[in-house]
Chains A and B, each alone.
Chain A
């Protein structure tokens, strides 16, 4: 079965607002957690990862938060743009294997 899941299957966001995408996981032994973005008709693309011994990591317009106490992961996108419309997946990285959640579809409203 799936060990990684997302709280909401869809998210609608006003352009310019911040987006928060949530993910719950079950395997505490994972080394890393990874976020992917998948645009329509394309393969998933790497956004950012966070090691299990960290609680926050920032990238360009994105921030990952990891709460190991409640096994929760989130991806925050600042100043959401139309190009951010996509499906977002969190993935649990246990050595050479990745387990993916079902994904959250983000739609950006103009």
Chain B
């Protein structure tokens, strides 16, 4: 998927355990995003990054943290997983340069399916 890789692709874990999902890009894009996808809700933004060590919260950020120590890697951490965090997680990247340069077109990874028992 256009130089974006998510790992792991599938994970089953137990309530209360920490989980880290990794997003790796080879496009050198500035923006990186984490979304979750649940039936009936579409894609909801968890956190995003606009540069190394520059991150901000999305609409469903509670229970999640992120880090971006390198341009190419964006990590999503669930400090103590709960069953409500069972979902499919998508990372996305973009090279957005402002509305005068066009739409902010995101390129998505293949997704990471997380099940919390």
CB contact list, B9-63 vs A, under 8 A: 31, 35, 40-45, 48, 50
* B107 contact set on A, CB distance < 8 A: 46
Q: Which residues of B lie under 8 Å from residue A41 when comparing CB positions?
A: 110-111
Q: Is the C-beta of B74 less than 8 angstroms from some C-beta in chain A?
A: no
Give the total of B residues in contact with A, Cβ under 8 Å: 27
- Contact A100-B42, Cβ < 8 Å, known A32-B99, A95-B99: yes
CB closest residue in chain A, given B31: A96
Residue from the list B50, B96, B110 in contact with A43, Cβ < 8 A: B110
Q: Which residues of B contact A97 (CB under 8 A)?
A: 45, 48, 104
Interface residues of B (CB under 8 A from A): 1, 31, 35, 40-45, 48, 50, 90, 92, 94, 96, 98-99, 102-111
CB distance from B11 to the nearest CB of A (A): 16
Q: Which residues of B contact A96 (CB under 8 A)?
A: 31, 48, 50, 94, 96, 104
Measured between beta carbons, the chain A residues less than 8 angstroms from B40 are 102
Scoring A residues 53 to 84 as 1 if CB is less than 8 Å from chain B, else 0, what string do you get? 00000000000000000000000000000000
Supposing A32-B99, A96-B96 touch, asked if A43 and B1 sit within 8 A by C-beta, the answer is: yes
